[in-house]
Each structure stands twice: as structure tokens, then as C-alpha cells.
Amino acid sequence: MKKFKTALIIDDDHDLNMLLKAILEQSIPSVVCALTLLSGIALSAELNPDVIFLDNNLPDGQGINSIAEIKTKAPNATLVMITAMGNSKEAAMRYGADLFLEKPLTSVNIQDVLNKIVLRTDSQV
């Protein structure tokens, strides 16, 4: 079974970051937050996280347009697109997102996503 070591949250909403971080820290030892796309891209290369939660609307760009670059910098990470715009799911998946999570986030749907990642990883072994 997959054990997560590091998660990266790229979202400019400080309150959402703290909520998501608190939930993730229950099962992931290291959770790091980035408030901008640029810092998130840099951290994705530096940390090589297991999972990345990427918001679409960031102050310095659209997350969806940086999915390929982020996945190049962190090739082993599962990228979860998070956005309030549910109609962008198809585009996010086309750009390379592994999973999609629509805001508002709840502890239940966050845990469901983590479970899906574990199942996907276990089936690839």
C-alpha cells in the first residue's frame, strides 16, 4: 500500500491551505503550501512530492496551463486539480491532471481522493 511522504498544495487561499494541510497531515508527514504558481512550480521540483493539489485560479496564472510543467518537475507525483469551476474537469484531465476535486472541499472528499491515489498506485505495482 502506498505511503505518502510529502504533499504540496498550490493555492492562494490561505484559509483553504490551512484546512487542507490539517486534513492531509493526518496521513502525510510533510505538507507544504505555496501561494503562487511560480513558487509551487519551484517547490514541485525541490520536494518531489507524492501528491500535488493545484488550484486553477492563482494570482500569477492559471494552474491548468502549468500542469505539464509541474508533472515534468515532479514526475512521480499524482496531480489533483482543485477548483470551484466544475466545468473545467474535462480540460484539466486533458492537460494531464490525474484527479479532479471540486470546491468547496470537505474532509470526506479529500480522503476519497487520497484513497483513489492509493488504489491507482497499488494497481500499477
Asked if residue 72 has pLDDT above 90, the reply is yes
Q: 6-10 and 30-34: which strand pairing?
A: parallel
Query: Which one is the CATH code of 6-124: 3.40.190.10, 3.30.365.10, 3.40.50.2300, 3.90.76.10?
Result: 3.40.50.2300
d(CA 51, CA 33): 12
Torsion of CA 105, 111, 112, 117, to 10 degrees: 120
Q: Across 14-67, where does the E strand assignment appear?
A: 30-34, 51-55, 57-58, 61-62
Judged by DSSP in three states, 55 sits in strand
d(CA 15, CA 71): 26
pLDDT of residue 120: 74
pLDDT (tens digit per residue) in 12-28: 999 999 999 999 999 89
- State the CB neighbour count (10 A cutoff) for residue 87: 8
pLDDT of residue 85: 81
Backbone angles phi, psi at 64, to 5 degrees: -60, -35
Asked if residue 121 has pLDDT above 90, the reply is no
pLDDT of residue 123: 57
Q: Which residue has the cell 492537460?
A: 95
What are the structural domain ranges in the chain?
Answer: 6-124
pLDDT of residue 41: 97
Asked if residue 87 has pLDDT above 70, the reply is yes
Residues 45, 46, 48, 50, CA torsion sign: negative
